[in-house]
Chains A and B, each alone.
Chain A
Amino acid sequence: MRLLTHNMLSSNIKGVTNGFPLGIEVEKMEEKEVEMNADFLRNMFAKVEWKALVEAAKTLGYTELPDNVEPSMLDSDEFLHRFHHALLELHLEEGALVCPETGRKFPVNKGIPNMLLHEDEIEVQVNLVFGSSGLIPHSTPKSSVVKIALGAWGGQGAAVVAPATLGRTIFMGRAGARLGRVGASRGGWGG
């Protein structure tokens, strides 16, 4: 994850009013050289929160950014190179981003920050229904993937999800109708 992205992320937890900037915990960082584009840097300069970038760069061990900036500095090649390096070449590969208000950590694994909130991670029952992804062949349009999954569910999942009753029963009817239609046109999805 580049520091540009760190500069664009803020804590999304309900009730947090001051979620920026996220703190950084570093387990592993990398430097990856990329070609400099001065126009892009000039564009981004207006969007970047400078103080947050300076602090983030320091956390990753880069201390060459000036604490105070003004747009005229964009005329300096040396400044552009430092800005470019901090913004685009320093990567947080493993570690965490920390909400400044609550201390909640958002893990960063393989350079991918995980901003999903805990509440969004509870879908266990539904997973049982669609869990049998082994049945789904690759390169299948989304619509047919659903039909196949529904077929699997109708056939063997009913007992598993017995508590989810009424809505499911109606769904069976719709699914049945769709499966029937597919069956007529395609000779069935059974195999």
Chain B
Amino acid sequence: MRSNIARIQLVSSHPEVYDPCDDSFALVDALLADRASLIDHRPSICMEIGCGSGYVITSLALLLEKECSGSYYVATDINPHATTVTRETLAAHGCFAEVVHTDIASGLEKRLARSVDVMLVNPPYVPTPDAEVGCRGIASSWAGGEDGRRVIDRILPVADDLLSDKGWLYMVTLTANNPVELCVQMRKKGYASRIVLQRSTEEESLNIIKFWRDVDTLLEANECTEVEKTENGAGLGLPHFSPFSCWNYGNRTAN
């Protein structure tokens, strides 16, 4: 029987491409755990930013191939070797995703605005000096600058532009990236969020966050902005709610 995620033996590799590791496995595990909701979600357009070896986008395509056979998958990477390796990994599994060699989603932003139903991001999250951010080759898979946030902070506004009204974003973060703050930032843009998987490995403490557009959150964010405007006449200051309130725990599920 065909496995419904990518098989590690079939994942292509290159010395300049980050091989699937704990972070990639954690993201795919989070997708597996959310498989039933993903199938109900019936995404038309799925996108991965920073596809690396192609392990994650291939896994998503395999996970949904039976129930959502007509989805369109796009994967981008700034590293040219990664785009080639991703294409090989997809081909080895008999899947197709469009692979685009670009920085985040440059070139796709205009036409894919408000169109992406599922977005996956395993960003370069490792705290490094800012000077390392933007280097080519394998370094682009890890160099995250201060707090590991330099690239994440560039990706999130793009994700906000691209995600459809029912869009979901799954993102890998380290505890060092301050996931709570990320949730608060996204909440201001109308996203509910939940840490769907936490995993501590010998090297790092991983959090997979799922963000989704949420009408109540958007209304609350707008009210919050209004209150702040009338209170101090300036833009957004510190949030008026506990940072932990951004985690949508409990029985509520993503719509």
Contact = CB atoms under 8 A, between A and B. Distances in A.
Interface residues of A, number: 61
Contacts of B107: 9-12, 106, 113, 115
B44 interface: yes
How would you classify the secondary structure of chain B's contact residues: helix, strand, loop or mixed?
loop
Contacts of A26: none
A184 interface: no
B128 A146 contact: yes
A120 interface: yes
A75 interface: no
Contact of B87 (A47, A112, A136, A186): A112
B29 interface: no
Given A9-B111, A146-B126, A139 B106 contact: no
A76 interface: no
Interface residues of B, number: 56
B69 A37 contact: yes
A142 B21 contact: yes
Interface string A131-148: 101101011111111100
B14 to A, nearest CB: 9
B115 A47 contact: yes
Contacts of B98: 1-2, 4-5
A53 to B, nearest CB: 12
B21 A126 contact: no
Contacts of A69: none
Nearest to B8: A139
> Which 9 pairs across A and B sit closest by C-beta, in order of nearness?
A40-B70, A37-B70, A115-B107, A115-B102, A126-B135, A130-B139, A142-B142, A114-B101, A12-B107
Interface of B: 13, 15-16, 18-23, 44, 69-72, 74, 78, 80, 83-84, 87, 96, 98-103, 106-112, 115, 124-126, 128-129, 131-132, 134-139, 141-143, 174, 201-204
25 contacts: A4-B72, A10-B110, A11-B107, A44-B72, A111-B87, A112-B84, A113-B101, A115-B101, A115-B107, A116-B106, A120-B103, A123-B135, A126-B134, A127-B139, A133-B15, A141-B201, A141-B202, A142-B124, A142-B126, A143-B126, A143-B174, A167-B129, A168-B129, A185-B202, A186-B202
